[in-house]
Amino acid sequence: NIGELKDFIEKCDRFVNEYNSNNEDKLPIVSYILTKKFDGLTINLTYDKEGILINGATRGTGVIGEEVTPQIKTIRSIPLKIENDFTFEIHGEAIMTKEAFLKYNQTSSSPLKNLRNGAAGALRNLDVKETAKRNLSSFFYDIGYIEDHKFTSYKEMMNFIKEKGFPVDEYLKECKTYDEILKEIEYVNGIRDSLNYDIDGVVIVI
């Protein structure tokens, strides 16, 4: 909740101040990146040194995921091959838009209950044709593993994701204070109902 968020921000600031008062090498002021928390199904995609999508998986238990590569390939916004010469794994969210949801339910004998179930059920469906009928979309926001490469910031990582042709959400804000973060949370809450997809809230990353 908001109170816990404020405590967290204060804890981060306190840590940096204490460290800087006791060490010659100084930490920078903490900055935070805010993004929407998409309400769909987490997907992890692995691309090889030739830039080919070789594996698509769900998060599963958090340790062992479900292999859903054929289903992933039905999502038109996901590139099957990119310009790249090193292995990496990218994290994103498979979602169902409100338009896709309504269109599917108009012709389906078993209408879907909500957008999240529509996306999750599609990726877990063994019938790839059924997955394709749901016309899923996706957003990407994180690199889980990358071979022989390092990012110095979240923005640098997101630029890499964009350059490789993955769909990303336009909303990405950098904040430095609790008040700035609170203002952005209020903004996202205000546009939430007008979005073409569902969100759970806001992700705040140091």
Catalytic annotation, pick one of 6, 36, 37, 150: 37
Total residues belonging to the chain: 206
Strands 173-175 and 32-38: antiparallel
- Joined tokens for residue 67: 């292999």
Say whether 183 is catalytic.
no
- Cβ-contact 119, 77 below 8 angstroms: no
Cβ contacts of 57 within 8 Å, gap of 6 or more: 43, 44, 45, 65, 66, 67, 68, 69
- Cβ-contact 202, 37 below 8 angstroms: yes
Distance from C-alpha of 38 to C-alpha of 199, rounded to nearest angstrom: 4
The count of C-alpha atoms lying within 13 angstroms of the C-alpha of 89, restricted to the half-sphere facing its C-beta, is: 11
Cβ contacts of 14 within 8 Å, gap of 6 or more: none
Q: How far is CA 170 from the centre of its chain?
A: 12
Active site members: 37
